Structure 1
Amino acid sequence: MDRAEIVHQNFLDRVVAGSLPPGASPNGILSAAEAVSIYRSQVLSRALDRTSRAMQKAGQGFYTIGSSGHEGMAAIARALRPDDMAFLHYRDAAFQIARADQVPGQNIAWDMLLSFACSAEDPTSGGRHKVLGSKALMIPPQTSTIASHLPKAVGAAYAIGAARRHDPEHRVLARDGLVMCSFGDASANHSTAQGAINTACWTSVQSTPLPLLFVCEDNGIGISVKTPKGWIEASMSHRPGLRYFQADGLNIHETYAVASEAARYVRDQRKPAFLHLRTVRLYGHAGADVPTTYMSKAEVEADEANDPLLHSVRLLSEAGALSSQKALEIYTQTCARVERIRTEVVTRPHLKTAGDVSASLIPPPRGCRASNGPSAEVRGEVLGSDLRAQSDPQPMSRLINWALTDLMLEHGELVTMGEDVGRKGGVYGVTQKLQQRFGPDRVIDTLLDEQSILGLAIGMGHNGFVPIPEIQFLAYLHNAEDQIRGEAATLPFFSNGQFSNPMVLRIAGLGYQKGFGGHFHNDNSLAVLRDIPGIVIACPSDGADAAMMLRESVRLAREEQRVVVFVEPIALYPMRDLHVAKDGGWMRRYPAPDQRISLGEVGVHGEGTDLAIVTYGNGRYLATQALQELEAKGIAARIVDLRWLAPLPKHAMFAATADCKTILIVDECRTTGSQSEALMALFYEEAEVPMARVVAEDCFIPTGPAYAATLPSKDSIIAAALRLTGADT
């Protein structure tokens, strides 16, 4: 027999024999009815674990990481309110089952078995993954195994206090609510967990409201690697600003009492707490995992002897709440009921086509008021002298600043956050005056941790805000890219469009900075973003486009709940001149606040048909410089500015180049993994004209005079255009 069947038989035999593990007596805080309800949730969780393994062996199920040994989480659920948002560890089926018992109209066994079977009728993911989660139960689905959901839990908790000061139109969380996030002892060592806990402490010591309960489920092992004894307590019990609690997760009375105390502290004090819960892990990590290959048989059997269900049977009997015989009947009846449901669930339909699977990549739109901010008259008061300056041409950085100002005036749920965005106004001054105009709780200076910046944004999106986080430099995103790839972008997909975390992520990026940076401040690769399904990537090339595209990006986030990455070319922030000093050729006037550039709309500059230069960002600036010399050599050209890099504006791009004899792609990103690869393939499929590309070398960018040596230039564009059109012969 495998370990699951051994644990099952041990339970039956020991309850019949009355051979129950010793432990503390019931403390009387938990009522008899609540204790029985918790036990029923624990038993259902165990029955589902056993059935998931049987389904997997029969080819009917596809997920076997179970919750056995962690059933004490049912008592945590009972200690919280069902409107407290919960970001769950993947071993927390008992929590979700117990919460379902608190919310009318739930059919949790049916729902979870649909998830095991990956049925298209699964109410959580629509058959895309076995995930814990439920809209009705306030449990956003997680697929994380490494605590990457903790940063957004911090953000969601922060959003509860923020909503008291600026109530967003689509607020979800109760004003007196709290947020709970759970994770394992092994995951506590991951940088996402450490960063989130540090951020919570950093926030708490500044007396900023943060009603957040961390629950660490300590079973002493991460797959096969043991956690040193006492490690979690030693590393977590004395964190500044974080109240530490501990409980024995094998004892539902103690767990409920301590969790209730912790929840009261968090709810009343609006401060974070850490609940360290002792658990055991039964069966090993997952179905294919055999724990005796890395643990002694004696260790495995010691954990099995501490089966939390056996402890619950003893406690219920001692409290006079339920006899052992009745407890055994509940267990056997629940196992039989789950098996009956299984026979029906496995007949339910599955996803079949690529369209079925991808249908939830993009969340559904939501109704929004046209404007929920101050009246138009306030605009003049807020902008002051800047309003008069808007009639004069200005560089990109200033136009983005004014666009942010207008957007935040128009929509009260917009918040921006990042390192140095407030008092300093950003490294390049793009967010200057915003904190003076809107206050520190809408323009948030964060600690230096990109994971926490993005987690704050994702979490605030859960409570109706539309965040505009800033990552200071494109290279810094790599510290936190999984917050976009593994969290923000996947949430609609794995929740069948029920949950979303809209945002506009502003990133200062790309190359061509003179005298500053090197590769940490000049990063010319967008590959890590381009292959994330469902997100929008925008990259403007001049100030007017930037303002109008930023308005569209905010509309996409606010109304269509999209994740938008807005890449701002650093070198173009201050750009004033085009051909000669002081010609002012790259400055633009601020477009009226109601003007925007729609997603998929390209920019066409020039009417020539000999050559179409397809480009974006700095490439458009360089191509515009080259255009003058190309025309002098008899080449009639046009520039097609893509503007939107994901999804690529294929139809508009093809229409803009349809009458051109040749196509030159100018891409400032590196040869490998650049947009040019996809563009060449698309044009090859669509257009029967000669093509070429000018791209950057596969190299990092240096500091000093050679800052642009590896990048496309005006001269390299001209040379490639002459070769392509035959004008160099």
Structure 2
Amino acid sequence: MDRAEIVHENFLKRVSAGDLPALSTLTAKQAGLDHAALLTLFRAQVISRQLDRVARQLQAQGQGFYTIGSSGHEGVAAVARALRPSDPAFLHYRDGAFQVARAQQVPGQDPLWDMLLSFTASAEDPISGGRHKVLGSKALNIPPQTSTIASHLPKAVGAAYSIGLMRRSPPPAPEYAPDAIAFCSFGDASMNHSTAQGALNCAGWTSWQGAPLPLLFLCEDNGIGISVKSPEGWVSAVLQSRPGLRYFACNGLDPVETYSVAREAADWVRRMRKPAVLHMSCVRLYGHAGPDVEAAYRPMAEIEANEAHDPLLYSAARLIREKAANRSEILDIYQSVFEETSSMAKEAVKRPKLTTAADVMASIIPPSRKATRANGPDPAARAACFGASDMRALGTPQPMNKLINLGLTDLMLEYPEIVMAGEDIGRKGGVYGITKGLQSRFGAHRMIDSLLDEQSILGLSLGLAQNGYIPMPEIQFLAYLHNAEDQIRGEAATLSFFSNGQFSNPMVLRVAGLGYQKGFGGHFHNDNSLAVLRDIPGIIIGCPSNGYDAILMYREAVRLAREEGRVVVMVEPIALYPMRDLHAAGDGGWMRRYPEAQASAPLGQVGVTGTGNDLAIVTYGNGCYLSHQALAELGDGVRVVDLRWLAPLAEEALLKAVEGCERILIVDECRRTGGQAEALAAFFAERLDVPVAREVAKDSFIATGPAYGVTMPSKASIIAAAERILRG
């Protein structure tokens, strides 16, 4: 017999016989629960349990598509009751009982029907629209999480930080109440993931410095991660050793004890505005997921011992001891919920499914947001902020690094909800001085010197974004992004997709990167690959080639985040930060003036220099600079097209930019494999009937010292490539 049915039969037999587990001396009244509350909790637990049973039946019939269940973890229903529905909750995937219990606290919710629609991948699923079985609800303040292990912990830290920040610098349209606390649950096995460890460390690090961080972590400890046991005592030792985190523990099998301790922990976090972790012991029933045969790796005696500690048996014992229900009434609730679940499931499988690519992709890009556009910063405040020196700089040509600094200052003056965070960006002003002076201008609460952990930087930003802020995090070097790419790929880019556009986490991520730094850092600080970003659906990638364009693009990036909820990644070419000259020393040919107030570089536009029809050089970033150097020697028959926005590709603007040209040369400073040139060559081959050639970087890392540029395009190699294609 299937283990789920064995657990089911055991529950019926043991309740009927009164064979129920022993309880602690704590009473429901002492914990603050009356009879009605106990019965409501029990019903939430039973709904979650029966959903698990029916999910397995639906999968066997080919009508259901997800069976990682919550059985054994039903104690989280009591945790939900200890919190407020207005507290944002980032849930472990075994927390079905939490969502049901929270739905019981919010009028108009039908968690049973909603979750069945999710199990059956119905297009009417109220959270994902049929795209994935996820826990989540806009009405319940539960952003959806997928099963990427622990990836939701860093953004829970960010959400908690945003709540603390609201008292000092509130966003124009916050999502959370000022006295809310953030809640985040995870399993004992995923606690060992570097992402979880980083989030726990970041929470303690932040609290240690006195910053408000109202956050309650819940570690649901069932003692096993798929097939591997957690070492005895390891979880409690790790959680108790974390500086800056208050530790609480409870027996998650007993709903009264769990509620009592969870309420104590939540009240402490809400009162103290500090983080805590609740360590809840529980069991895992049925194995990891539907196809998982637990007996293949776990002794039967151990499986049966877990089943003997079914939390529903403890809840039944509570109801009887507290005289809230008798055995017959308990069994009636259990059986009637199953009948209701089975009946609803028969209807849920009939509801419409997603059928087309357009249906599936409809929520990759979030819907537009209501955002009032500013008319520029107040002139007096601007003059005071900049000071005499920078006001003069606004009227004279400047290199990119200075212009970006001035442009970011204007944006922060204009939009007080912008918050920046990153390693060394505050007091030092960044490795290259791009954010120099911004912390003194706007304060440490808007220019956050983060700990050295890219996952925490991006997680902080995700949490800020979900509470109405516009985060502008910085990743110090492009090579460092790989330490945290899942925060973009698995979290930022998927939130709108998995929530059917109901949630979004807009941000403008700044990354210093690409190659051509002379004699500095090798491939650790010169990384000429954007492949990690290029294939992520929905994100926008920009790469300015000069300071004037950089300001225009940052204005557009902030607009895209504020008004369209988009995730924008801006890659700033490090080698062009200080660039002043183009052809000869002192010519100032690559410096630009500060742009006029309302100018921008809209997504979907490209830049064009020259009108020649013999050859179009299509490029971006450093390639644009080098191509302009080559242009002087190639003559009037050549034009240079600066992509500016690398994703999504501005296809129509690009076709118009090369219109009339007899040949196309793609100059790509990134590698031959996985670079932009691959997509551009394919695009031109599909849309045009002209010769296309590529001048790209080698499939190599970048060396330190004199060989820093030999694996990438140069002025000379661009000229040679252009002459080859011009000769036919």
Q: TM-score, normalised by structure 2?
A: 0.99
Q: Is the 8 A contact 1:90 1:145 kept in 2?
A: no
Q: Which residue of 2 aligns with 1:640?
A: 641
| Aligned-partner residue type, residue 62 of structure 1 | F
Q: Which residue of 2 aligns with 1:626?
A: 630
Q: Is the 8 A contact 2:161 2:213 kept in 1?
A: yes
With 267-276 and 14-23 compared, the bigger mean Cα shift is at 14-23
For 1:334-413, list aligned pairs within 5 A.
334-371=337-374, 375-385=378-388, 386-413=390-417
2:512 to 508, 512, 520: 508
Unpaired segments ≥5 residues, structure 2: none
In the TM superposition, what whole-angstrom CA distance separates every residue of 1:609-666 from its partner, at most 9, and x where no partner exists? 00000000000000000011111xxx61000000000001111001111200000000
Q: Which residue of 1 aligns with 2:467?
A: 463
| Aligned-partner residue type, residue 376 of structure 1 | P
Q: Is the 8 A contact 1:608 1:636 kept in 2?
A: yes
Alpha-carbon distance between aligned partners in 2 of 1:289 and 1:667, rounded to the nearest angstrom? 47
Query: For 1:469, what is the secondary structure of its paired residue?
Result: strand
Query: For 1:119, what is the secondary structure of its paired residue?
Result: coil
Query: For 1:568, what is the secondary structure of its paired residue?
Result: strand
Runs of 4+ in structure 1 over 6 Å off = none
Instruction: Please say if 1:4 is aligned against 2:4.
Output: yes
Query: For 2:136, what is the secondary structure of its paired residue?
Result: coil
Alpha-carbon distance between aligned partners in 1 of 2:257 and 2:701, rounded to the nearest angstrom? 56
For 1:292-371, list aligned pairs within 5 A.
292-371=295-374
| Aligned-partner residue type, residue 334 of structure 1 | V
Instruction: Please say if 1:259 is aligned against 2:262.
Output: yes
Q: Which residue of 2 aligns with 1:608?
A: 612
Q: CA deviation at 1:388?
A: 1.5
In the TM superposition, what whole-angstrom CA distance separates every residue of 1:137-194 from its partner, at most 9, and x where no partner exists? 0000000341110000000000001111111112011101100000000000001100
Query: For 1:309, what is the secondary structure of its paired residue?
Result: helix
In the TM superposition, what whole-angstrom CA distance separates every residue of 1:207-255 from its partner, at most 9, and x where no partner exists? 1000000000000000001100111111111321110000000000000
Query: For 1:71, what is the secondary structure of its paired residue?
Result: coil
| Aligned-partner residue type, residue 330 of structure 2 | A
Q: CA deviation at 1:374?
A: 5.6
Q: Which residue of 2 aligns with 1:242?
A: 245
Q: Which residue of 1 aligns with 2:145?
A: 142
Q: CA deviation at 1:72?
A: 0.2
Q: Which residue of 1 aligns with 2:599?
A: 595
Query: For 1:477, what is the secondary structure of its paired residue?
Result: helix
Q: Is the 8 A contact 1:148 1:192 kept in 2?
A: yes
Query: For 1:699, what is the secondary structure of its paired residue?
Result: coil
Q: Is the 8 A contact 1:515 1:704 kept in 2?
A: yes
Instruction: Please say if 1:162 is aligned against 2:165.
Output: yes
Query: For 1:165, what is the secondary structure of its paired residue?
Result: coil
Q: Is the 8 A contact 2:580 2:591 kept in 1?
A: yes
> Size of the alignment, in residue pairs?
724
Q: CA deviation at 1:593?
A: 2.6
For 1:131-210, list aligned pairs within 5 A.
131-210=134-213
Q: Which residue of 2 aligns with 1:656?
A: 657
| CA shift in 2, pair 1:269/1:373, >3 Å | farther
Q: Which residue of 2 aligns with 1:22?
A: 22
Query: For 2:679, what is the secondary structure of its paired residue?
Result: helix
Query: For 2:144, what is the secondary structure of its paired residue?
Result: coil
Q: Which residue of 1 aligns with 2:450?
A: 446
Q: Which residue of 2 aligns with 1:483?
A: 487
| CA shift in 2, pair 1:574/1:69, >3 Å | same
Q: Which residue of 2 aligns with 1:686?
A: 687
Instruction: Please say if 1:575 is aligned against 2:579.
Output: yes
Alpha-carbon distance between aligned partners in 2 of 1:394 and 1:333, rounded to the nearest angstrom? 74
Query: For 1:47, what is the secondary structure of its paired residue?
Result: helix
Q: Is the 8 A contact 2:428 2:436 kept in 1?
A: yes
1:289 to 282, 288, 292: 292
Instruction: Please say if 1:42 is aligned against 2:82.
Output: no
| Aligned-partner residue type, residue 563 of structure 1 | V
Q: CA deviation at 1:26?
A: 4.3
Alpha-carbon distance between aligned partners in 2 of 1:228 and 1:493, rounded to the nearest angstrom? 37
Q: Is the 8 A contact 2:405 2:435 kept in 1?
A: yes
Q: Is the 8 A contact 2:148 2:490 kept in 1?
A: no
Q: Which residue of 1 aligns with 2:671?
A: 670
Alpha-carbon distance between aligned partners in 1 of 2:325 and 2:276, rounded to the nearest angstrom? 33
| CA shift in 2, pair 1:269/1:374, >3 Å | farther
Alpha-carbon distance between aligned partners in 2 of 1:272 and 1:84, rounded to the nearest angstrom? 14
Query: For 1:141, what is the secondary structure of its paired residue?
Result: strand
With 537-546 and 24-33 compared, the bigger mean Cα shift is at 24-33
Query: For 1:384, what is the secondary structure of its paired residue?
Result: helix
| Aligned-partner residue type, residue 627 of structure 2 | A
Instruction: Please say if 1:548 is aligned against 2:552.
Output: yes
Alpha-carbon distance between aligned partners in 1 of 2:471 and 2:240, rounded to the nearest angstrom? 32
Q: Is the 8 A contact 1:72 1:249 kept in 2?
A: yes
Query: For 1:378, what is the secondary structure of its paired residue?
Result: helix
Query: For 1:467, what is the secondary structure of its paired residue?
Result: strand
Query: For 2:429, what is the secondary structure of its paired residue?
Result: coil
Alpha-carbon distance between aligned partners in 2 of 1:244 and 1:161, rounded to the nearest angstrom? 21
Alpha-carbon distance between aligned partners in 2 of 1:539 and 1:169, rounded to the nearest angstrom? 29
Q: Is the 8 A contact 2:376 2:597 kept in 1?
A: no
In the TM superposition, what whole-angstrom CA distance separates every residue of 1:330-365 from its partner, at most 9, and x where no partner exists? 000000000010111000000000000000000011
For 1:214-229, list aligned pairs within 5 A.
214-229=217-232
Alpha-carbon distance between aligned partners in 1 of 2:138 and 2:400, rounded to the nearest angstrom? 42
| Aligned-partner residue type, residue 703 of structure 2 | P
Unpaired segments ≥5 residues, structure 1: none
Q: CA deviation at 1:373?
A: 8.3
Identity among equivalent pairs (%)? 66
Q: Which residue of 2 aligns with 1:710?
A: 711
Q: TM-score, normalised by structure 1?
A: 0.99
2:121 to 95, 118, 122: 118
| Aligned-partner residue type, residue 220 of structure 1 | G
In the TM superposition, what whole-angstrom CA distance separates every residue of 1:541-582 from its partner, at most 9, and x where no partner exists? 000000000100000001100000000000000000111111
In the TM superposition, what whole-angstrom CA distance separates every residue of 1:358-389 from its partner, at most 9, and x where no partner exists? 00000011111122986332111111120111
Q: Is the 8 A contact 2:399 2:578 kept in 1?
A: yes
